Structure 1
Amino acid sequence: MTRQIWDISPAIHPAAPVFPGDTPYSQEWCATIGPACPVNVSAIHMSPHVGAHADAPLHYDAQGAAIGAVDLNAFLGPCRVIHAIGCGPLIEWQHIEHAVDADLPARVLVRTYQNAPTVWDPGLAAYAPETVKKLADLGVQLIGIDTASIDPASSKSLDSHMVIRARGLRVLENLVLDAVAEGDYELIALPLKLSEADASPVRAVLRALR
């Protein structure tokens, strides 16, 4: 039997929300099908942080690796989706501990929205740094969130990003978890092999374990 798949990636289009000042998605046609041309060919222009994406260490560390050099293992394998809907500005340990046990997978995705926004949300929920530290202590290798950042939108110190930098975690942001129940799944969210980029779009999906 085919295992069920949940697409947890938002659509990317010119109106897709981006961090203020970031480059939105745009597309132009370089060639179109006609008497002199057999194909359509487009060019796209966008920040790699549009839509579901994986941050590279280079995003928060001047000497960090570009996304094309990051090991892929963290982006593929068993994961747990945990609901912390309406948790407030920070995901504290108390918001997720109900779903943490001895069998916690190495990948954790947290849902904070009842319904994913279609416009920029300056009050997005983020991870409290202590929550990230506790997850790392339990062997978590990747954290994900359904907001645009694991840190508050106004943060300049990026405390949670500094934790994943120190502990070697990977991160997925801008996921859409509206239709996903709490529980365990297989995560597939591979970044592109962009040799110099600070992030990469991903087509993030969850697959039923059986």
Structure 2
Amino acid sequence: MRLIDISRPLYVGMPVWPGDTEYRFQLAWTKEESGSVNVGQILLSTHTGTHIDAPYHFDENGKKVHELDLSLYVGTVRVVHLPRRESIGASDFQGIDLEGVKRLLIRTDSWTDPARFPQSVTFLREDLAPFLGEKGVKLLGLDVPSVDRLDSKELPVHHALHKEGIHILEGACLSDVEEGDYELIALPLKLEGADGSPVRAVLRQW
């Protein structure tokens, strides 16, 4: 068995969505101060690093993190490599077998410098949502910060995927992951009322 970590590291100074909460870690208590232990404190956005979007993120009536079905985030996943594209839609999957695929990860290779928040990345087109919905996909993950254009305010792809019952995983590290089938484990924290959650995402390969 081999575990492949597809999570972005969390560190002070890491790139975050412009204007969002910057990641912070510090020791609230040191061993010297407490007499026994170091205790850390973190400050971060619910969309820091590799994370899932709960529907509540973009839909006031959508489910929140603690209401999500955990089985979405554990199980067989197919990784598809679609590099060097401005956008990805249904036509890009011509000839790609998605029979029986419930979880799908798309490797775009378009976030080229992980130390900087990108100016632009491969985005999805709205027609991909009904295509994947018809195939039975329930979780879609990408190696970029958003399924939509980075400057989008309407988030049409978020809404189109939601309409098809497809949940979203963003910001995965897939640069060293080959196409094929794996087992995905990417569980969100049980955050009451939250709109998203960082995840420690791994692929298991037997």
Cα deviation code 1:91-143 (max 9, x no counterpart): 1223333432434x100000111656321112121211111220111000000
- The 8 Å contact of residues 82 and 96 in structure 1, kept in 2 or not, is answered as no
Change in Cα spacing, 1:170 to 1:87, as seen in structure 2 (3 Å) is: same
2:72 maps to 1:53: no
Under a length normalisation based on structure 1, what TM-score does the superposition of the two structures give? 0.92
Secondary structure at the residue paired with 2:28? Answer: strand
Under a length normalisation based on structure 2, what TM-score does the superposition of the two structures give? 0.94
Corresponding residue pairs, total: 205
Q: Aligned Cα RMSD in Å?
A: 1.5
Residue 24 of structure 1 is matched in structure 2 by: 22
- The 8 Å contact of residues 83 and 96 in structure 1, kept in 2 or not, is answered as no
Q: Distance in 2 between matches of 1:170 and 1:205?
A: 17
2:73 maps to 1:75: yes
Within a 5 Å distance, the mapping from 1:184-195 to structure 2 comes to 184-195=181-192
Match of 1:108 among 85, 88, 104: 104
Query: Unaligned stretches of 5+ in structure 1?
Result: none
**Which range is displaced more, 153-162 or 93-102?**
93-102
- The 8 Å contact of residues 31 and 37 in structure 1, kept in 2 or not, is answered as no
Residue 156 of structure 2 is matched in structure 1 by: 159
Q: Distance in 2 between matches of 1:35 and 1:99?
A: 58
Query: Unaligned stretches of 5+ in structure 2?
Result: none
Q: Distance in 1 between matches of 2:109 and 2:139?
A: 20
- The 8 Å contact of residues 84 and 96 in structure 1, kept in 2 or not, is answered as no
- The 8 Å contact of residues 91 and 128 in structure 1, kept in 2 or not, is answered as yes
- The 8 Å contact of residues 116 and 176 in structure 1, kept in 2 or not, is answered as no
Q: Distance in 2 between matches of 1:116 and 1:5?
A: 24
Percent identity of the aligned residues?
Answer: 38
Q: Distance in 1 between matches of 2:94 and 2:15?
A: 31
